[in-house]
Chains A and B, each alone.
Chain A
Amino acid sequence: MNTQNQNGYMLLYRSDEWYNRLSQEELQKLINQNKAWFERLTGQGKAKPGRALERTGVTVSGKNGRFVMDGPFAESKEAIGGYLTLDVETIEEAIAIAQSSPGLAYGGSIEVRPMADECPLDVRARELAREEQLVNA
């Protein structure tokens, strides 16, 4: 596994609306923990502002985008609730940061993904061209 990556990492928060099951006190405590966690990371220059996503939306698919369907659905445990981008160089550090996220104790999961410098399509097209060259050589 290539653990070094100059482009940073993305944390994708996946969960259902587990926070609806918390009491007001628990919620407030978690919000404070989250705020402190995020301020520490930004203070260290390790995290850039993330965004939370509303629990609504549509999925567009098909040629010319002819299918527009409601969803993903909020109750899905895989639904993405928000993201954060990290300016760290190894996946180990990105994983360690994900593990320190205060919300994990209550539910949901965090997907850790290296950000790509260029589109994977470009990379694959180049590989195929190279293979073709080798076959013709």
Chain B
Amino acid sequence: MLLFRGNDWTKSLSPEEKQKVTDQWMAWFKRLTDDGKAIAGNPLERESKIVSGKNRVVSDGPFAESKEAIGGYFLLDVASFDDAVAIARECPGLPHGVQVEVRPVAGECPIASELKHDAQFAHA
């Protein structure tokens, strides 16, 4: 999975530059989809709410405009982690300050894996 971080980087761009990056980004996603390498992807709106704690408190997202805020994602279907990193390096937003987080998708919930791991040791 590619997580695109940063949503304050477009401020310094002219409308023409913005249009250019957008077109490049769309063409990039289309090529990856056509090649069967991208299965899903979506930009996210800036609006953000955070739900947390036992009392399930709702607060405004602290990441409204920052370098860490997630602006969208691609879900990739590639054979290796290196392939995913190579694709991340093609991101048209990189020269403008976007950061791309590359994360392997888990086969099952890590909590379930943890449990199996514990059980294995318990029986050892």
Residues of A with Cβ closer than 8 Å to B?
Answer: 1-2, 5, 7, 10, 12, 14, 17, 19-20, 24, 27-28, 30-31, 34, 51-65, 68, 72, 78, 80-83, 91, 95, 98-99, 101, 104-105, 108-116, 118-122, 124-125, 128-129, 132
Q: Binding site of B, secondary structure by majority: helix, strand, loop or mixed?
A: mixed
Q: List 13 A-B contacts (CB under 8 A).
A: A12-B70, A14-B50, A27-B118, A60-B101, A61-B97, A64-B95, A68-B85, A99-B58, A111-B70, A112-B51, A121-B25, A122-B22, A125-B22
Q: Say whether B94 contacts A60, CB under 8 Å.
A: yes
Residue of chain A at shortest CB distance from B52: A109
Question: Which of B42, B54, B61 counts the most chain A CB atoms within 10 A?
Answer: B42
CB-CB contacts below 8 Å: B75-109 with A: 75, 85, 88-91, 94-95, 97-106, 108-109
Nearest CB of A to B88, in Å: 4
The interface residues of chain B lying within 8 Å CB-to-CB of A122 are 22
Q: Say whether B47 contacts A91, CB under 8 Å.
A: yes
| Interface range for B | 35 or more
Q: Say whether B100 contacts A65, CB under 8 Å.
A: yes
Q: Say whether B22 contacts A59, CB under 8 Å.
A: no
The interface residues of chain A lying within 8 Å CB-to-CB of B101 are 57-60, 72, 80
| CB < 8 Å neighbour of B3 from A20, A54, A80 | A80
Q: Say whether B102 contacts A119, CB under 8 Å.
A: no
The interface residues of chain A lying within 8 Å CB-to-CB of B70 are 12, 80, 111, 113
Could you mark each residue 7-34 of chain B with 1 if its beta carbon is under 8 Å from any beta carbon of chain A, else 0?
1001000010011011001100000000
Given A51-B105, A57-B102, A99-B51, CB of A31 within 8 Å of CB of B111: yes
Q: Say whether A52 contacts B109, CB under 8 Å.
A: yes
Q: Say whether B49 contacts A116, CB under 8 Å.
A: no
The interface residues of chain B lying within 8 Å CB-to-CB of A27 are 111, 114-115, 118
